[in-house]
Structure 1
Amino acid sequence: MIKILTIREIKIGEGIPKICVPIVGKTHFEIIDEAKEILNHSVDLVEWRGDWFDEVFEFEKVLETLKSLRAIFKDIPLLFSFRTIQEGGQKSIPLDEYASLIKYVINTSMVDLVDVELLTAGDELFVDLIHEAHENGVKIVASNHDFQKTPSVDHMVSILRKMQDLGADIPKLAVMPRSKSDVLELLMATTIMNENYGDRPIITMSMSGTGLISRLAGETFGSAVTFGAVSKTSAPGQISAEDLSTMLKILHKNT
């Protein structure tokens, strides 16, 4: 039985997959402009991609921007992510600085969720960051991104299970398809995780245009959140939040 995760008024793991939109501005003002534009669209969550921010290593600038985002989004859940360059992000960062940044953001009380890359952090730091987050009322999205290939079904399921076993609130897996069969492998892994092992919401996706169907079919196969774009995309295969909302509603109505 998948336990629904409620963040503010959003119930993740129930009904139509929730739409998360990334903010990828490089400056404070670009970020705020993107945030205001997002309010005009159908979104459930917002992800601030901190790795795009030019001043992300200056914590007072991070706090200033977080305060502005919190004021704009009010009751819309806010997710902070620093995607490392190894997993498709914009910047490299030493492990100790990665840990310091994530802990700092957790302790600002400005975000509802924080993304932690499992392979970047390693098991010990990963568990430490989960404890830090939970002590501050913040949820952890555990992530793993493979921009080169789609691993085997068994391997993908094992990654999701490990994230769950270590205490992540939402395990997330994104992979790159080299063929249509790879997309089916991702959907199979999602189904197996949900039907046989999962006790909490998960997020999975097959990237690029080839994998687009995986961003739409979460209600059928078990991915609780999908990512769309309002301005710039943050990963291959994202489509507009409006188109995404329309298609998800059509699929839900006829499921």
Structure 2
Amino acid sequence: MEQPVVKLRNLSLGTGRPKLAVPITGKTTADILAAVDPIKAADPDVVEWRIDFFEGVTDVKQLQQTGQWLRSALGSIALLTTFRTKGEGGELELSDADYFTVCENVLAGNFTDALDVERYHDEAAVKGLVAKAHANHVVVIMSNHDFDKTPNKKDLVGRLTSMVAFGADVAKMAVMPKSADDVLTLLAATNEAHKTLSQPVITMSMGDLGKVSRLSGEVFGSCLSFATVGAASAPGQIALDHLRPELEDLKLS
């Protein structure tokens, strides 16, 4: 099967080295914009703006203005905008209705290249949001996070498959391992999904045990790895200046 590739700004996700994303988790507009220069100096492929950390996230004007300033400041770097809900490891408790409103406000602000859409909300609402993103030429990275455990391989592949069925351009799973076996489960599921799905996948096993999964994407089929410049947004993230040469060392010729 021909490998699926998704265009994200100047990037091709799903081919070659896994691309590198770094989070911005600032609470204020000033914090967010101050993070840009050190990040640009490190030259990631993608910035993930974690808007659940942003104090102004529910204020439409503030959200859109800050997003537009951030988009402008990033230059050629692709922007992924993510509201991570509390139940999936995020900072802020929002009702489902408010979650979808915030995501729609992001799209209406016309500043992001990609939008994270959590899979496990009301199905009609998820599909509606995907349609709105695509109408705005925004890439949908659909996601699910399990901070407690690693589901079995069939379950993991099933979740990634359902994301593609829901219209995801890229399907993303992050899970917590309790053992080396759990890490192997995640890698096996990644390999299977990569071979069978029509869209690229992003996967990671979190924490220290799972760090190997952040390095091995090119072998097993995860197209993006999350690294840090400054603050981490999830357990086990590796500093960008360490991760990039490691990915280069592990490249497939």
Query: Could you say which TM-score interval applies, normalised by the shorter chain?
Result: over 0.9
Partner of 1:145: 145
One-letter amino acid of the structure 2 residue matched with residue 106 of structure 1: L
Q: For the aligned residues, what is the CA RMSD?
A: 0.9
Partner of 1:57: 58
The offset of 1:2, in angstroms, is 2.4
- Report the secondary structure of 2:49's partner residue: strand
Extract structure 1 runs of 4+ deviating beyond 2 A. Answer: none
Q: Say whether residues 1:238 and 2:232 are aligned partners.
A: no
Partner of 1:46: 47
Kindly indicate whether the alpha-carbon contact (under 8 Å) linking 1:172 and 1:204 is maintained by their aligned counterparts in 2.
yes
Q: Say whether residues 1:10 and 2:27 are aligned partners.
A: no
Partner of 2:212: 213
The offset of 1:109, in angstroms, is 1.4
Once the two structures are superposed, what CA deviation does each residue of 1:79-121 show, in whole Å capped at 9, x if it has no partner?
00000110000011011111111011012110010001111x2
- Looking at structure 1, the residues matched to 76 and 169 of structure 2 have their Cα atoms a distance apart, in angstroms, of 20
Partner of 1:168: 168
Which moves more between the two structures, 176-185 or 64-73? 64-73
The offset of 1:42, in angstroms, is 3.0
Kindly indicate whether the alpha-carbon contact (under 8 Å) linking 1:160 and 1:173 is maintained by their aligned counterparts in 2.
yes
Partner of 2:67: 66
- Report the secondary structure of 1:210's partner residue: coil
Partner of 1:226: 225
- Report the secondary structure of 1:124's partner residue: helix
The offset of 1:35, in angstroms, is 1.6
One-letter amino acid of the structure 1 residue matched with residue 235 of structure 2: P
Partner of 1:84: 85
The offset of 1:133, in angstroms, is 0.4
- Report the secondary structure of 1:83's partner residue: coil
- Report the secondary structure of 1:40's partner residue: helix
For structure 2, the 5+ residue unaligned runs are: none
- Looking at structure 2, the residues matched to 3 and 176 of structure 1 have their Cα atoms a distance apart, in angstroms, of 27
- Report the secondary structure of 1:228's partner residue: strand
- Looking at structure 2, the residues matched to 215 and 183 of structure 1 have their Cα atoms a distance apart, in angstroms, of 11
Kindly indicate whether the alpha-carbon contact (under 8 Å) linking 1:160 and 1:171 is maintained by their aligned counterparts in 2.
yes
Kindly indicate whether the alpha-carbon contact (under 8 Å) linking 1:42 and 1:242 is maintained by their aligned counterparts in 2.
no
- Looking at structure 1, the residues matched to 204 and 230 of structure 2 have their Cα atoms a distance apart, in angstroms, of 20
Partner of 1:23: 24
- Looking at structure 1, the residues matched to 122 and 78 of structure 2 have their Cα atoms a distance apart, in angstroms, of 26
- Looking at structure 2, the residues matched to 100 and 39 of structure 1 have their Cα atoms a distance apart, in angstroms, of 30
TM-score for both structures, normalised by structure 2 = 0.98
The offset of 1:155, in angstroms, is 0.2
Between the two proteins, the alignment pairs up a number of residues equal to 252
- Looking at structure 2, the residues matched to 42 and 27 of structure 1 have their Cα atoms a distance apart, in angstroms, of 23
The offset of 1:217, in angstroms, is 0.2
- Looking at structure 1, the residues matched to 100 and 114 of structure 2 have their Cα atoms a distance apart, in angstroms, of 15
Kindly indicate whether the alpha-carbon contact (under 8 Å) linking 1:42 and 1:245 is maintained by their aligned counterparts in 2.
no
Identity across the alignment (%): 38
- Report the secondary structure of 2:228's partner residue: coil
TM-score for both structures, normalised by structure 1 = 0.97
Partner of 1:105: 106
- Looking at structure 2, the residues matched to 104 and 58 of structure 1 have their Cα atoms a distance apart, in angstroms, of 9
The offset of 1:45, in angstroms, is 0.4
Partner of 1:33: 34
Mapping for residues 183-222 of structure 1, pairs under 5 Å: 183-195=183-195, 197-222=196-221
Which moves more between the two structures, 67-76 or 203-212? 67-76
One-letter amino acid of the structure 1 residue matched with residue 209 of structure 2: T
The offset of 1:163, in angstroms, is 0.2
Which moves more between the two structures, 214-223 or 35-44? 35-44
